Amino acid sequence: MSKKVYKDAMSALEGIKDGMTLVVGGFGLCGIPENCINALVEKGVKDLTCVSNNAGVDDFGLGLLLQKRQIKKMISSYVGENATFEKQFMSGELELEFCPQGTLAERIRAGGAGIAGFYTPTGVGTLVAEGKEIKNFDGRDYVLERGIVGDFALVKAWKADTFGNLVFRKTARNFNPMAATAGKITVVEVEELVEVGELDPDQIHTPGVYVQRIFKGTNYQKRIEQRTVSKG
């Protein structure tokens, strides 16, 4: 068995401490590392900075960590659907760094690629650019954004082999591939775990060189964030 394979989320998250920065994959409630989040709640680590497109909902996803007041700061592009988040932010308990969605994706990708920063026109002239360097290229202003690297990256994939080569399924292939590259330690939970050689190399989305720890998850809820029903 590969040394990358762990028994469960609790063992795979060994070493996470108070005050660390976590890059968390997922989009809304799609493709989120449910088992890892549940284990963090059980571990009780606090003062976390979480980099994630969303902040979950009140009783699921990162919302579970917010309930326990384990998150000190969120770096996100969208934080709706979560009344707990709203209350903590409005009361000053929770720090928030808003980041345009495309910029956030690129900051995570850049961190994983070893790029310290990049210039983008997105956010120039808005609150997003306050306190940041502005540079003009060919007559247009661009704002400097920093790459993001987390102490840990928490990722949800559909299938992987024991070396950590990852395959994402449909919409769950959102922020997860970038997040997988942007952790000093990347922990991946998967629905299916196979031996090396069983995956088609042409179908691998993230190579295992980025992954340090992997485990097979259980009890996935796969919730729908906003359920709509058409009239018959």
Q: What is the pLDDT of residues 14-41, one digit of tens each?
A: 999 999 999 999 998 899 999 999 999 9
What tokens appear for 15 in the block?
A: 């070493």
The answer on pLDDT for 1 being more than 70 is: no
Q: Which amino acid is at 11?
A: S
Question: Averaged over 154-159, what is the pLDDT?
Answer: 97
pLDDT (tens digit, 9 = 90+) per residue, 167-180?
999 989 999 999 99
Based on C-alpha coordinates, what's the Rg of the chain? 18
pTM equals 0.93
Which position has the higher pLDDT, 152 or 220?
152
The answer on pLDDT for 161 being more than 60 is: yes
Q: What is the pLDDT of residue 228?
A: 82
pLDDT (tens digit, 9 = 90+) per residue, 73-113?
999 999 887 889 999 999 999 999 999 999 999 999 999 99
pLDDT (tens digit, 9 = 90+) per residue, 62-74?
999 999 999 999 9
Domains in the chain: ranges and CATH: 9-116+148-216 (3.40.1080.10)
Question: Averaged over 188-206, what is the pLDDT?
Answer: 97
Q: What is the pLDDT of residue 58?
A: 86
